[in-house]
Every structure is written in C-alpha cells, then in structure tokens.
Chains A and B, each alone.
Chain A
Amino acid sequence: NAGVTQTPKFQVLKTGQSMTLQCAQDMNHEYMSWYRQDPGMGLRLIHYSVGAGITDQGEVPNGYNVSRSTTEDFPLRLLSAAPSQTSVYFCASSWGSRGNTEAFFGQGTRLTVV
C-alpha cells in the first residue's frame, strides 16, 4: 500500500513548455485533488475530482487542466508553463462518499519554470 504517489519529484521547465504531473493512489479513494503551495503560504486548491469522469475547479484553476479516467489516477497538465507557476504541487486523496475522513497527501512535485 503505497498511498499517494507523485511523479516527478522535481522538474524544471522553460516558459511555454507543457508537461503533466502524475498522481496515483492505491486506496480506492473517490475524491482526489491538486494543490499548489508558494513560499511562505498555505496550500491553494487547483482542481478536484469526486470520482472517475467528474472534475471541478478549485481556487486557482487557470493554466491547468485535469482529467480523471480511472479511480487511481489524477494527472495535472500545465498547458503552457509560466514563471508564475513555479511552486510545489501536492496531490491528495480521500473517501468522497464517507464525509468526514482524513485526506492523504503525496510528497509533492517541486516545479521551477524559467
């Protein structure tokens, strides 16, 4: 049981490049989400999914796309990277239909856009 796995751990992109951050969980959780964390700040919600085929926007969705084709995977796509997207990205999962349960977080992807 690996929990929530994020890849890659580190990435450097040039402005305008695109890439996909991977997130996978093996706990059969319905709910998955992506956050970004900028220096000295708390986490901000980018996108979330309540189940396969269903996604919705969070607080800061611009510049990011998501899809959820399986329960296990929830990739985050940067369409055209900008320096403002330099951040640490965290993926999380939890039971979606059981109300008040804990969320499990991955170890993060540290992205630098130059």
Chain B
Amino acid sequence: DAKTTQPTSMDCAEGRAANLPCNHSTISGNEYVYWYRQIHSQGPQYIIHGLKNNETNEMASLIITEDRKSSTLILPHATLRDTAVYYCIVRVAGYGGATNKLIFGTGTLLAVQP
C-alpha cells in the first residue's frame, strides 16, 4: 500500500471549514483513499473514501486531485466535537480479506478553537 504524508497538527476556528491535506504521491491506480478519525482515544471512526472523483457525505467532502497524488478532506462547518486525530489511509481496492487491512500513520491532530 502507498505511504501517506499528513501535517502533524492544524487549527481551525469553530464554524469555519477545516481543510485537511494528505499527500500520497506513490498511489497506484487500484488504490482508494480512506479517511478515519479518532476522538480522544476512542475507536477510530470511518469518515469517507474515494478513488478518483470527489465524494461527499453527511460528514465531509473528499477532494482528490486529478493526478491522484494528493487529497483534501473538508469538514464544512467545524465544531468543537470535530477535534480529533484524522488519518488518511491508502488501501488497495478489490475483494478479499487481505485488502481490508488498514495501515495507519500518525495522522493530523485537528484542534477546533472556539
């Protein structure tokens, strides 16, 4: 699986959009980009994933560059409850249990400020 690079920490004002970048310059054509977050040592929580196209769900939006070498997770209106460590993970697509392995890096600590 390709390696990802994320900033160690970021700040965001409450109510503003939080934009979390991720670099995955060695990503392969069959690898998806996944985002998880971990709030205060709880179990990680799935946020969103995508392959090529931009994706949006009720939690966030995922913007993937055309060359797929980087992506940005957007939380449109950050709240204090969004303070967490955000993990960007690249994972091989396909079927079968071995492809379900998630390899975590150290992530980005997002601190939402009042």
Contact = CB atoms under 8 A, between A and B. Distances in A.
Q: Give the interface SS of chain A, mostly helix, strand, loop or mixed.
A: strand
Interface stretch (A12-20, A41-49, A77-85): A41-49
- Size band of the interface chain B makes with A: 20 to 34
B103 A45 contact: yes
Contacts of A92: 43-44, 102
B42 A103 contact: no
Nearest to A95: B100
A58 B97 CA distance: 12
Contacts of A103: 36, 44, 46, 100, 102
A4 B44 CA distance: 12
Contacts, number: 75
Interface residues of A, number: 36
Contacts of A107: 42-43
Interface stretch (B20-28, B62-70, B104-112): B104-112
A45 B1 CA distance: 14
B48 to A, nearest CB: 9
A96 B98 CA distance: 8
B93 A43 contact: no
B28 to A, nearest CB: 14
A48 B101 contact: yes
B45 A105 contact: yes
A67 B88 CA distance: 30
A50 B98 contact: yes
A88 interface: yes
Interface in B11-46: 32, 36, 41-46
Interface in A17-47: 30-31, 33, 35, 37, 40-45
Contacts of B96: 50, 96-97
Interface of B: 32, 36, 41-46, 49, 87, 91, 93-107
Interface of A: 4, 30-31, 33, 35, 37, 40-45, 48-51, 54, 56, 58-59, 88, 90, 92, 94, 96-100, 102-108
